Amino acid sequence: MSAVTENLIPSALRARRLPRISLPHRVARVAVALLMLAAGAALLQVNAAFRAFEAVVTTWLLSPFVSGQRAAIGEHYLVWTPTDDLIALQVTVECTALLVGLPLTVVAAVILAFTAVPWERLFAGLAAMWGIVFAVNIIRLVLIGWATQTWGLDPGYKVSHVFVGSVVGVLGYVVGLIVMLLIIGVRAPQRRNIRRDRA
């Protein structure tokens, strides 16, 4: 029979606690978190303009690789297929960086409201996450455009959009989340060794 050393169980089960903050400070953090959610909702309302911006950036980056590149039209960017057909690829709601960035912004808002992590670390993590998510999504859109121009709609578009694009999108989500949490300073509780005395 073994007995666990007294006083070690509570410390092993306790998660790392952040310092307590005053009530006015907590109210301020909750208010800013709500503003972050409101800003996310506003960005969602103008998602068409955001998607149009993504199409413009994608067009600019595709220009050196796609022959006869045309200017973006709204949320569409244009590529030529090997059969000389001009194809308009639309940045849909399912293809925009907002699909990943906004849920992770909600995570950051919750962390801000209910913990005592430093402001500067939280907003630095949030900015880094948005930069990564946006850049990875643009890379995904560029790859789809290049593949469509090189191999046509089938297999170029289908393979790059369904398979390669999905992998790159998931990668952007995971990397963005991990980097944000690391900068903010959120880490899993460390395991502690519990001494056991043999009886």
In the numeric block, the tokens 């950036």 are attached to 57
Q: Do 105 and 126 contact (CB within 8 A), yes or no?
A: yes
pLDDT value at 5 more than 50 = no
Q: At 188, is the pLDDT very low, low, confident or very high (cuts 50, 70, 90)?
A: low
Query: Which residue range is the domain that position 81 belongs to?
Result: 2-198
pLDDT tens for 91-112 read: 999 999 999 999 999 999 999 9
Higher pLDDT, residue 37 or 169: 37
Q: Helical H runs in 46-153?
A: 47-62, 98-114, 119-151
- Span 21-31, mean pLDDT? 89
Residues β-bridged to residue 90: 76
pLDDT tens for 131-153 read: 999 999 999 999 999 999 889 88
pLDDT value at 190 more than 70 = no
At residue 8, the pLDDT reads 39
Distance CA 140, CA 146 (A): 10
Counted domains in the chain: 1
pLDDT value at 9 more than 50 = no
Name the pTM for this structure.
0.81
pLDDT value at 199 more than 50 = no
At residue 112, the pLDDT reads 94
pLDDT averaged over the chain? 84
| C-alpha separations of 105 from 49, 113, 121, 177 in Å | 19, 12, 14, 10
Q: Helical H runs in 6-97?
A: 8-13, 23-45, 47-62
Report the percent of the chain where pLDDT is more than 90: 57
